[in-house]
Structure 1
Amino acid sequence: MNKRNGVWIITLTLLFAVLLSGCGKSKGTDHHAAADADALEPIKVELQISPAEVAAGEPVKFEAKVTHQGENVDDAKEVMFEYWKDSSPEDEHNKEVVAGSGEGMYVLEKTFEEPGTYHVISHVTARDQHSMPSKEFTVK
């Protein structure tokens, strides 16, 4: 082997070793992985209807409490309540966008004149996520 080939072999071996060492996993904290894990934690939406017993002609309040990582979300991109009477076709569903009222709360107050079974879904878009909890309630 001549001197020139030996230099190339040593250079390529060192280059290969350097490249392989970059592929190992570091033992330190991976800040990007921690940030990604936080971003992947889902938003939480607690949908409440009050009063528990709804009377025809009386107001009912839909409340969506939105949190992420235990903190209130007051800057949701959109919060919309969709509500309808049981067996209504989808084109008869009512949809209303609401603004936040602070402390992660988004509220809509409605009055239902007809007794029956109804449904409500809160569509919440926040932190690049979407959540759609739903509930059924009866108007007497």
Structure 2
Amino acid sequence: MRIQKVTGLLTTLALVLVVIAGCSSKESTSAQADTTLEPIQVELEVAPSIVKIGDTVKFAAKVTHHGENVDDAKEVMFEFWNTADDNAKHSQVKVKSAGNGTYVLEHSFKESGTYEVISHVTARDQHSMPSKQFTVE
């Protein structure tokens, strides 16, 4: 009877140690992952911010990660629409890298108004969507 109690106690103690060891290793792994995760940075530029009908607007998204240019983003798309029209069609144009972490689209507009542009950037398993407004006169 005594051997069974000792064996049971040792088995229970071993299981408790395994559970504690498993929990502590998960915590340290997630803590390490949290300190190394840095979001992608996307700087959206619209030039000029006021443009005449028919003239070209340049949209540029500068993408970096850990301070380095990202030229291999999974997807970069510019979405734009006239904000005065609730039923306005949202145009979406995918672009490729122009080098140095920059993704560029040049576009002209046929209607005046205030427009919104969003750059949808997917890179390094992350997504960023900065936006800006501009005016077409």
Do they fold alike, i.e. is TM over 0.5? yes
Unmatched segments (≥5 aa) in structure 1: none
Conserved? CA contact 1:38–1:69, under 8 Å: no
User: Following TM superposition, by how much is the alpha carbon of 1:20 offset from its aligned partner in structure 2, in angstroms?
Assistant: 6.2
Q: RMSD value over aligned CA atoms?
A: 2.6
Residue number among 104, 108, 113 corresponding to 1:107 in the alignment:
104
The yes-or-no answer on 1:19 pairing with 2:18 is: yes
Query: 2:4 and 2:11 mapped to 1: Cα distance?
Result: 11
3-state SS of paired residue (1:80)? strand
List per-residue Cα deviations over 1:10-40 (Å, max 9, x = no partner). 64366257436625748xxx5663344433x
Partners of 2:15 and 2:110 in 1: how far apart?
77
Larger Rg: 1 or 2? Answer: 1
1:45 aligns with 2:42: yes
Q: Which of 25, 32, 35 is the matching residue for 1:34?
A: 32
Paired residues for 1:64-83 under 5 Å: 64-83=61-80
How does the TM-score come out when normalised to structure 2? 0.79
Please list every run of 5 or more consecutive structure 2 residues that lacks an aligned counterpart in the other structure. none
Using the size of structure 1 for normalisation, the TM-score is: 0.77
| 1:60 match | 57
Q: Does 1:120 align with 2:134?
A: no
Q: Which residue identity does 1:49 align to in structure 2? A: V
Task: Tell me: CA distance 1:21–1:97, structure 2 relative to 1, closer, same or farther (3 Å).
Answer: closer
For residue 73 of structure 2, give the secondary structure of its aligned residue in structure 1.
coil
Are positions 1:8 and 2:27 aligned together? no
Question: Aligned pair count?
Answer: 135
Distance in 2 between residues matched to 1:77 and 1:112, nearest whole Å:
28
